[in-house]
Amino acid sequence: MSAQNTSAMTLARKLDRRMLQLGLSQQALAQKSGVSDSEVSRLLKGQSKRPGLPNILRLARALEVSVDFLADDSLQDDPHTEPVSLPSQEQALLELARTIGSREVEMILDATRILGFETAIRRLYGVEFRPFPSSPSHSGATGE
């Protein structure tokens, strides 16, 4: 396998990143764009290299980006939109989510929502969750 050009950003990566930024699942993107779920899946897996102009237009509108951005692998950011400034903690979480992958992050968050935070922590880490005291001004009860 050849070394990947770090300045190139594939269509699949752009779709994945923008879906994560907008909080869209694969199915939500398909529904919002009118592009079939199977075509969105192929694009996200990098199996469909040339989705055709009608689909690119639909995806660009749904993701609120320019066609130029989706079509040009050399563009890291959409030159036609304002950059979004996030607090550093949110930026770090977004980068971690990108590393893990949007589908996996969505599954983790769904499990957390369904199971409840404490149960999800217990299952993921095998430990009991103990929240930090919110402030020392509690009524003096230890709560344990």
Place of tokens 């949007």: 102
DSSP code at position 59: H
Q: What are the C-alpha distances in Å from 135 to residues 66, 71, 130?
A: 47, 51, 15
* 22, pLDDT greater than 60: yes
**Structure tokens belonging to residue 70:** 């989706």
* 113, pLDDT greater than 90: no
Q: What does the pLDDT read at residue 68?
A: 87
Q: What does the pLDDT read at residue 79?
A: 73
Residues 30, 36, 38: CA angle, nearest 5 degrees: 105
Instruction: Outline where the chain has alpha helix (H).
Output: 11-22, 26-33, 37-44, 53-63, 67-71, 88-100, 102-115, 117-125
Q: What does the pLDDT read at residue 5?
A: 39
Q: What are the C-alpha distances in Å from 89 to residues 14, 75, 86, 93, 114?
A: 22, 25, 8, 6, 25
* 143, pLDDT greater than 70: no
